[in-house]
Amino acid sequence: MLRTEEARRPYTVSELAREIQRELAGLTAVLVKGEVSGMRQSARGHFSFTIKDPGAQVEAFLFQTDARKLPLLPEDGHEFIFRGRVDFWSQGGRLRLIVDWVEFDDVGKMRAQLEQLKRRLEQEGAFEVARKRRLPFLPRRVALVTSPTGAVIHDLQETILDRFPNMAIAVYPAQVQGTASPGSVVRALRRCNADADADVVVIARGGGSFEELWAFNTEVVARAILSSRIPVVTALGHTSDRTVADMVADAECRTPTEAGARVVPIKADLLRRLEERGRRIEREVAVRLRREDERLADRDRRLGQALPGWLGRRARMLEERGARLVSAANRSLRSADRTLAERADRLRALSPEAVLARGYSITMDAASGRALKSAAETSSGSRIRVRLAAGGLQAVVEQTE
């Protein structure tokens, strides 16, 4: 407080500012409840806003480093409880509350907004079981979207590798708490989809309050899960309300350990089942081979019994067919002989010798040997030859007619 004797002397502005700062030194961890207004972020990532109620308002400031630790970022029009220290900025002459923690004041109002988001997603069919994809029986690689440090990633990796020692695991680091959490989870999930190396992705954190889990009730995270080409499993460690992320995921688990058991089978069990199946197949094959051997033996026996009779029938059939072929061949030969004799008789009747034998003769020019068909083909004095049935004549033409 200002002393009376000191008040008589004018304070410099700097002295007054320092006196105010001394008086405010005790207000280092005050709680203030009010509605947020004028929220804005600077180029450096710091936030400034106004906290107000019907009777007054006070300026507030939130450093980027503190904002990253918060479960949620204050929004205009909502009431919150703020923790911080009162600071007087002497250069600007402004009194401010330097905020380092924020929590919901009207949780009911936030839950009402959350229910509105759930109803909108439900109308789109985002919660339908038919939309959700089946998890792979044995993934090639499991992707983990979570904080790269802490118990959650250790539990996940330990559970997965205990069940399947050589399972490939890809970690996509993400902030799972604080105001940066929604954007960080979305970016990690998108990188996982872009790499396309994993067959299933687990989004995990170690539980928390309604406020701490708020990132997984945001629409941006829900949309990222819905648009993922890889099946998504949530393991957020909560034991009360389901988050929107749980409701749109392809499968949800309460703990990271449960998620690890959900996404990979036990390798030893698989090997044992394969061995049992192999032995069962061997037994089935042996039974089938024995049955086939018996069937073939029975067929051989029946064939052995039926073969002599069949061969006898075939022999008789061939004999009968052979006799019929011989008989037909003989008939064909006799018919051919008759035909040949008739054609020979006709040829003999038409031959020149047969004509000559009936008293005819053939007259030929002696010089050329050409047969004469007309008297005009020779002349008086020409030498000719005459062929008779027996022998021939040499003559000279005395006169043609």
Residue 329 lies in a domain: no
Do 118 and 76 fall within a single domain?
no
57-71, 137-151, 232-246 — which one is most confidently predicted on average? 137-151
What's the pLDDT tens digit per position in 115-136? Answer: 889 999 999 999 999 999 999 9
Q: What is the mean pLDDT of the segment spanning 58-79?
A: 83
Q: How confident is the model at residue 106 (pLDDT cuts 50, 70, 90)?
A: low
| Contact yes or no for 240/211 (Cβ under 8 A) | no
Among candidate residues 105, 125, 157, the one where a domain is terminated:
105
Q: Greater confidence, 278 or 307? A: 278
Q: Greater confidence, 194 or 302? A: 194
Do 77 and 174 fall within a single domain?
no
- Nearest by Cα to 214 from 243, 194, 189, 192: 243
| Rounded-to-integer distance, Cα 174 and Cα 153, Å | 11
Residue 375 lies in a domain: yes
| Contact yes or no for 49/36 (Cβ under 8 A) | yes
CATH number of the domain where residue 23 is located:
2.40.50.140
Give the pLDDT score at 309: 81
Do 176 and 257 fall within a single domain?
yes
For residue 231, give every residue at least 6 positions away whose Cβ sits within 8 Å of its Cβ, in sequence order, or none.
Answer: 133, 134, 135, 136, 199, 200, 201, 250, 251
Do 118 and 264 fall within a single domain?
yes
Please say if the pLDDT value at position 6 is more than 60. Answer: no
Q: How many domains does the chain have?
A: 3
E runs forming strands in 3-162? 30-41, 47-53, 56-62, 79-89, 94-104, 141-146
Do 170 and 75 fall within a single domain?
no
Name the pTM for this structure.
Answer: 0.57
What's the pLDDT tens digit per position in 291-344? Answer: 888 888 888 888 888 878 877 888 888 888 888 888 888 888 888 888 888 887
Do 36 and 51 fall within a single domain?
yes
Residue 98: which domain range? 4-105
Do 96 and 119 fall within a single domain?
no
- What is the amino acid identity at position 305? Q
Residue 332 lies in a domain: no
Give the pLDDT score at 81: 86
| Rounded-to-integer distance, Cα 9 and Cα 28, Å | 30
Do 67 and 125 fall within a single domain?
no
What's the pLDDT tens digit per position in 338-369? Answer: 888 888 777 777 677 777 777 778 888 888 88
Do 15 and 98 fall within a single domain?
yes
- Nearest by Cα to 214 from 188, 176, 172: 176
| Rounded-to-integer distance, Cα 103 and Cα 112, Å | 16
Give the pLDDT score at 261: 95
| Rounded-to-integer distance, Cα 233 and Cα 275, Å | 31
Among candidate residues 268, 287, 319, the one where a domain is terminated:
268
Among candidate residues 241, 268, 295, the one where a domain is terminated:
268
Residue 235 lies in a domain: yes
